[in-house]
Amino acid sequence: MTRIVAGSVGGRRIGVPSHGVRPTSERVREALFSALEAEGAVRGAAVLDLCAGSGALGLEALSRGAS
């Protein structure tokens, strides 16, 4: 299990397949989106999460206002 760090659904848990998937850690996603939000680069941005194993990165972006 991993969770959405912040945004409209912050704190919600995401189920992750047990084999062959290693989602981006919460700490890394928090740091990445903190830096992007400081630049105003998230809200309204179009995001494509290629090779999304768990989809955590894309779901985090959606939660923070990306489309």
What is the reported pLDDT for 38? 95
Which two structure tokens, joined as six digits, stand for 44?
């309204």
What is the reported pLDDT for 19? 80
pLDDT in tens, 10-59: 889 988 877 888 888 899 999 999 999 999 999 999 999 888 788 888 99
pTM of the prediction?
A: 0.82
> Does residue 36 come out as left (phi exceeding 0), alpha (psi in the -120 to 50 range) or beta?
alpha
Q: Given a cut of 90, is residue 1 above it in pLDDT? A: no
What is the reported pLDDT for 64? 94
Report the Cα–Cα distance between both ends of the chain, in Å, rounded: 24
Which residues have a Cβ under 8 Å from the Cβ of 45 and sit 6 or more positions away? 61, 66, 67
